A and B are shown apart, each in its own frame.
Chain A
Amino acid sequence: MDDLLEQPTTLSIPDSGAERADDANLSSGDEDEGLDWTKLPSSSRPVIPKRGDKDFEPTVHGGSGLQRHVLDRARNAMFEALRAERNTSSKSISHGIWYPNLARTHVTTARGIHFTSMGHSFARASPVSPNGPQQKAVKRLELLPEEAIYLVERGSMFCWKAMDGVDFDDAAGLEDMEGAPMTVQQVFTEMVGTEDLTLEKYHVFSYLKRLGYVVMRTKPPSSAYLTAEPYSPPLGPRSSLVSRLCSSFIALLHRVFGIFKRTSNSWLPSIFHNGFTYPGVFASLRFLPSGHKTPLHIVQLKPEEQSPSPYELFYNVYKPATPFKKTAPPKPDFQITVVNARTTPIPTISELTELFDVLPELPPPVPRRRIPYADQKRQAQEREKAKSASAPGSQPTAPSTAAPSASASASAPASTPSTSANPTLFRRLFSWAWTAPESKPQERKPNPFAVLKQGKKMVVIAAVDSGMISFFSFRQGGFEEFPMA
């Protein structure tokens, strides 16, 4: 952090993206910076300047001329940005009607790319009109409350409130209206609180949407809302009568032989029955039940006394790069629970176990591919050759590349098995006995630290404290599967 102190200058040089050496998961630099709207193309839009770095310490005599000048300039830039008016062109704005009794917004005109990832179609029968028979159910695009608030706040949608009994087509001059126009404040007030939406959940939803993720609900609020298939845990071992008898018999045998093996009582654990080696000693000391597979026997309160757990999966989140289809959502990249940080304590192990039970297992982390040194040198030389190939006189590089390529080709045949060409008759007859030598490349065992840190299952819990969101990932740990000795 010391190397990033900015030198005081007379000109304001924008922060040239100094690389931070922090671990990607640990620093919060990106989050704490203000929004960077400098990327907007048109100059008429307001531009929020990037924040500069602070000085190391205040000067002894108080504010100097330079400091005041820089401060004034930064402040003015911020005020200018805030003063500007945000507007949307009428050709790109969508329109929707909010129905409070249904807690949905019906989108009448959909414009823009937002609706590829938001909204669902619902077949709703239009209300019985006094004139004719009941009309057929018509499919229409509807938005959940949080989606509607997000679009209105963003400025991409204009929301009307449904007014029954008023027919706008008749009134003169009011043909464009579809209901009572709603302000943004009214949208917030009316929609927060409906359909399980709290302000904290909305904060998380809008934050993730702004970052580019696709956010859907885990529990469909109605049958028309298409969600990904909920994870079904793999069935336990077959509990047929035969297998149960077998397992109990085997357990009996273990106990009988255990008596003969361990003549010790609990006062003298026999630590050498796995052999006279350090791994053996450690293995025989491992008698404590451990891991998430051992059942949790916590006495539960009576159902009526027990308040429902606040920890329930709420959002399925998909990364921006995942191909997403509204009609068939794939498996979510991660799943989120949202709680209020001030009123809810951290989850107990029973709540965490309930969450883990409905989550799929993560694949083991991919081990880093290690390129052997000879290949690294060759790649570096090839890159240099490509750079200097444009310039004439690439003679000196040619012999140097010839040498490593010769060595590479020399090592290549050695690695491939010599019997790949012309297998003998014997081998062909008994090919089932030989496994294919070049079946798959040497698979590296994953780094145990990486596996332990990634865990087997992950749930993300967003703790919202008056608008400040902290995301924590709670992962199911499996230390008992990776002993260090």
Chain B
Amino acid sequence: MVGRQGGHNKGGGRKNENNKIYAHPLPILFSEPPQTSLSHKLNAFLGINDTKVLNPHCHGVLDVATRSVWVTDPKDVRILWTRGFFGKGDLSRSEPSWHARQVNAMKAAAGNYLTSEEIREKRRNERKQFKLDRARALAEAAAEAEAAFVEGREAVLPEIPSGATWKPSAQSAAPEPGDDAPPSADADEVELLEEELLEDVEHMQLTLQEAFFLCWGLDCLTILDPHTSQSLSLQQIWVSLQQAFGIIPSLKPVYTISPEEERFDNPFLVNYAVYHHYRSLGWVVKSGIKFCVDLLLYKRGPVFHHAEFGVLVIPVYEDPADKLSSPYALANADPMSWTWLSTINRVNSQVQKTLVLAYVTIPSSSHVPHHTLSSPACLNHYSVREVVLRRFIPARMRD
């Protein structure tokens, strides 16, 4: 697990490295046979495309209580993260990096490979230090101006540090991330032993939408039942994922669905339609809970650039009678207020993201027969359309 390097080798080196690691947008790989081989030439003559598809065949365990699929095999975790940015470490910010952080914390030579959590801590400490310096300088300046006013002379003001030019002072001011034990020879040996014995207790979790996309759309993930460790058939997965959002919460996967709960407005189906739509357009889709939205869209991935768009899923019932008879209370289905919209728009403007409202239409149960719900073919009846929302400032738009 390679975290980002901090400090040296910035810019070109890191970008090239990221381009190499995260080169594939999906977990499946295509291998072109060597151009000069005879069989390839024969196939080309006959018009047969013999590109082979390499499927990693990852495995995950369904956990209904957390509504996620757990992936524990380190190889699978790495494949799913680097090819498409699927999933999230449950003890980490995004990429599973708990083990690397623990190892760094034990080693005295922390700072060579900083994980993103460590970079974040360092950045927060530096900012705290900057704020303290600035507050002190401002207080001095105020005292000086006050004294000058009383005496009736001009004030000579000290310099107030600005965010752009402040540099962190001696390292003693900022605490090291995590480590304050001085190294010694014995400690090194002990640490090595501990490191080998340290078990990685972190797993990667896929949301149910990501898991279904991998399992049904790309056919590269096998989902196992948590208790029997049997691999589930697509039929069972389809039903249990819907049932996971059912009215009566359960801790075990349920493979039958009651007629009241088998509806077009099941939250899993509604959210999956939007997830699939943006994934199929090539965007990397991650959870948007940090910014009050449902989804974040990245062009290539979180390691390359910040997300450009924050998507709010707004379900629209084609038949209002369906809404009245529904046991599910879908979020954002009722007409919302302007204060709600202003709040979310303000949060997203602060972080330079554009807010997109994605309206999902839920098919009317009177027009579409009920049996389509037994297979993913029902997804053909949903539709997604977007409205981009921005604040409009007439004072700036005059030209």
A290 vs chain B, min Cβ distance (A): 5
Query: Looking at the complex, which of B59-67, B224-232, B391-399 is the stretch in contact with chain A?
Result: B391-399
Indicate which residue in B149, B273, B319, B376 contacts A299 across the interface (CB closer than 8 Å): B319
Query: Looking at the complex, which of A51-59, A76-84, A137-145, A222-230 is the stretch in contact with chain B?
Result: A51-59
Chain B residues 41-84 with CB under 8 Å of chain A are 49, 51, 53
* Whole-angstrom CA separation of A282 from B394 in the bound complex: 40
Which A residues are closer than 8 A to B by beta carbons?
A: 2-3, 5, 7-10, 23-26, 28, 30-31, 55-57, 59, 64-66, 69, 207-208, 211-213, 265-269, 271-272, 275-279, 281-282, 285-292, 294, 296-299, 301, 319-321, 341-342, 344-346, 348-349, 352, 449, 452-453, 455, 460, 463, 465, 470-480, 482-485
* Whole-angstrom CA separation of A294 from B155 in the bound complex: 69
- Total cross-chain contacts (CB, 8 A): 247
Chain B residues 153-191 with CB under 8 Å of chain A are 154-155, 157, 160, 162-164
Q: Are B390 and A66 in contact (CB under 8 A)?
A: no
Residue of A nearest to B311 (CB): A479
* Whole-angstrom CA separation of A5 from B150 in the bound complex: 23
Contact with A along B129-157 (1 / 0, CB 8 A): 00000110011011001101110001101
Q: Are A211 and B51 in contact (CB under 8 A)?
A: no
Indicate which residue in A7, A65, A320, A482 contacts B160 across the interface (CB closer than 8 Å): A7
Which B residues are closer than 8 A to A by beta carbons?
A: 24-26, 28, 30, 49, 51, 53, 134-135, 138-139, 141-142, 145-146, 148-150, 154-155, 157, 160, 162-164, 216-219, 234-235, 273, 276-283, 299-300, 308-309, 314, 316-321, 335-342, 345, 349-350, 352, 354, 356, 359, 361, 364, 367, 375-377, 379-380, 382-399
* Whole-angstrom CA separation of A275 from B282 in the bound complex: 16
Q: Are A296 and B361 in contact (CB under 8 A)?
A: yes
Q: Are A472 and B345 in contact (CB under 8 A)?
A: yes
Indicate which residue in A26, A276, A287, A452 contacts B53 across the interface (CB closer than 8 Å): A276
B112 vs chain A, min Cβ distance (A): 31
Q: Are A9 and B25 in contact (CB under 8 A)?
A: no
Q: Are A294 and B383 in contact (CB under 8 A)?
A: yes
A102 vs chain B, min Cβ distance (A): 31
Q: Given the complex, which residues of A lie within 8 Å of B283, measured CB to CB? A: 484
* Whole-angstrom CA separation of A474 from B339 in the bound complex: 16
Q: Are B387 and A277 in contact (CB under 8 A)?
A: no
Q: Are B398 and A465 in contact (CB under 8 A)?
A: no
Q: Are A25 and B149 in contact (CB under 8 A)?
A: no
Q: Are A282 and B282 in contact (CB under 8 A)?
A: yes
Q: Given the complex, which residues of B lie within 8 Å of A266, measured CB to CB? A: 375-377
Q: Given the complex, which residues of B lie within 8 Å of A453, measured CB to CB? A: 354, 388, 390
Q: Given the complex, which residues of A lie within 8 Å of B138, measured CB to CB? A: 5, 55-57
Indicate which residue in B319, B383, B386 contacts A479 across the interface (CB closer than 8 Å): B386
B279 vs chain A, min Cβ distance (A): 7
A157 vs chain B, min Cβ distance (A): 24
Indicate which residue in A285, A348, A452, A483 contacts B388 across the interface (CB closer than 8 Å): A452
Q: Given the complex, which residues of A lie within 8 Å of B314, measured CB to CB? A: 349
Q: Are B316 and A349 in contact (CB under 8 A)?
A: yes
* Whole-angstrom CA separation of A476 from B386 in the bound complex: 7
Q: Are B385 and A28 in contact (CB under 8 A)?
A: no
* Whole-angstrom CA separation of A299 from B317 in the bound complex: 9
Q: Report the 3 A-B pairs with minimum CB-CB distance, sorted nearest first.
A: A485-B282, A477-B386, A484-B282
Q: Are A472 and B390 in contact (CB under 8 A)?
A: yes
Indicate which residue in B24, B336, B361 contacts A346 across the interface (CB closer than 8 Å): B336
